Chains A and B, each alone.
Chain A
């Protein structure tokens, strides 16, 4: 089964609104990462948060991590049409059968920002 699960599966908002996506995972982690994928393209790394961190910011992105609940959220503030993409969380789960830096990806949230 998937280590990471994002919700919602799809999110449609107006430009200027904030978008919040959530990710839940099952086992202990070293870190959690968020990636973005434009349609038909490769993934682009957005932000990495370590297991001993609770919050991290990068520009209009804010990521939180709650290891007690095994969950993370990605907030995009003041969204733009160009933010339209799929967003994936990925965990580096050191005891989920992974090794050598393997990441376990969720199924993603498809964000649509309407102008």
Chain B
């Protein structure tokens, strides 16, 4: 069966510090991978998606970047965090183009 992991679960970082959030998927190959951010009480905003190794598409210009160094690994990064980067970050994967998305447990990021 497939599983998706995210870490860390929670993170408190000072403004201006770097960020690295990791997402890994097990039990499937060549998944589409997604990073979302959810602000408090809001819906999900798609940040990045990837259809293969090294292939990253950005949906929203921002202070963040993403990388996919391996087939089932998706990393969200920042060189210098802003207060507005605080939120709940969710990773998800799909098989193919259309269908159910499977979400990870999320990372709660607080930038102080």
Interface residues of A (CB under 8 A from B): 2, 4, 30-31, 33, 35, 40-45, 48, 88, 90, 92, 99-108, 110
- Size category of the B interface is 20 to 34
Count of CB-CB pairs between chains A and B under 8 Å: 64
Q: Which 8 A-B pairs have the closest CB atoms?
A: A42-B103, A107-B43, A105-B44, A101-B97, A45-B100, A105-B43, A43-B103, A42-B105
Complex CA–CA separation, A33 to B97 (angstroms): 14
Distance (whole angstroms) from the CB of B65 to the closest CB of chain A: 18
Distance (whole angstroms) from the CB of B3 to the closest CB of chain A: 12
Complex CA–CA separation, A103 to B47 (angstroms): 12
B100/A88 in contact, CB under 8 A: no
Complex CA–CA separation, A115 to B25 (angstroms): 37
Q: Which residue of A lies closest to B4 (CB)?
A: A42
> Which B residues lie within 8 Å of A44 (CB)?
103
Contacts A105-B44, A106-B43, A107-B43 given; does A100 touch B97 at CB 8 Å = yes
The digit string for B83-103, where 1 denotes a CB below 8 A from any CB of A, is 000001010101011111111
A41/B105 in contact, CB under 8 A: yes
> Which B residues lie within 8 Å of A4 (CB)?
43
Contacts A31-B98, A45-B100 given; does A100 touch B49 at CB 8 Å = yes
A42/B104 in contact, CB under 8 A: yes
A48/B99 in contact, CB under 8 A: yes
